[in-house]
Structure 1
């Protein structure tokens, strides 16, 4: 499965008010593994960027004065995302701006048109996902980084590629916390490597073939002791719950 984790920066909130894209950043994953392919582009929006927006992402008109307009980068960008599932935090915002840019471009040129995004890509909104998983809580990207213990200390200002990279880590944590694991012969050598933790402890990964692990079942005495302990814990939990109520 090919996924593209994507983020944009803009001149304002609503493209209907004439606001435009100023930056696109994207990271590619295939089967939950980073491929190393990224897309990053600053864009000249052909309009003034308000000071209050510059304070958020740090991109002013001087910084993007010599960058290409969207029409110049549209085909390369489209080739990067077409056919992928896009993973975006607050997807309607970013998709709305991309579709607006594509719509204006299609009116300017004849031939093959690009977009709309949802007709050529899947879209997964991590903000919607987070609200379902954590109802009633803050679900901004910064809040999710704190919740899932993801380091975002280097995120002083918003930046499309940086935010896409952080969102990729957040998405993996929200959906299992691991990239795809393989236990075939090709990965056996990696599993046998020795890692050293920050405390200096060595952890040896072992590769076991089927049949090497034996199953030891408890004796009747051990099983009875286990059930008695569980029953005692259950009684204690019930008493505590009654007191809390």
Structure 2
């Protein structure tokens, strides 16, 4: 007799979250950090409204973010030169601080914090195939990487671990070889050998409907001596109950 599958559901109990450090981290990666040390932008205060799935629906304090950028922009303008790069930074800031959601969604940190995770799962002792994830390459100038993805769900009392493992779909990523040969082969003096692995693990508290931990490890390789490694460890340090 076959055993029945055990199905669990993780529910998002609070769809308003604040004090995330996500926006600040993304902005510091995109722009020169020293510019943000000259004004009180308070980018760590990102108030968002979430969909039941855990994805961002809207940024609630977007106007406040834009107003603080405009004040800082006034302070920065006299100190900046007339180079194309500096002009593009100011223009980019106008766009990013008026509507910050596209900036967030293009970031790996957004993927880690706001994936579609609040739903039903089947407990499994082994990994099983799911709809594939995608990844934006850190080696090939923001090219989209197609992946083959598996997941595994482990339950321990009121905590749940959601584990993902992804590898590059070789057939769907053949276009990368032409990019490598035209831009990197002469410099690296090695043949193309693309490999990609992504190990991603979440721990959730089912009673509170919150993420306790996230650990992501990504290895992207274009050739034997050219590899890009990315690792993030995210932990809940304070549970903000009254938000």
With structure 2 as the length reference, what TM-score do the two structures score? Answer: 0.24
Larger relative CO (CA 8 A, sep 6+): 1 or 2?
1
Structure having the larger proportion of residues in strand: 2
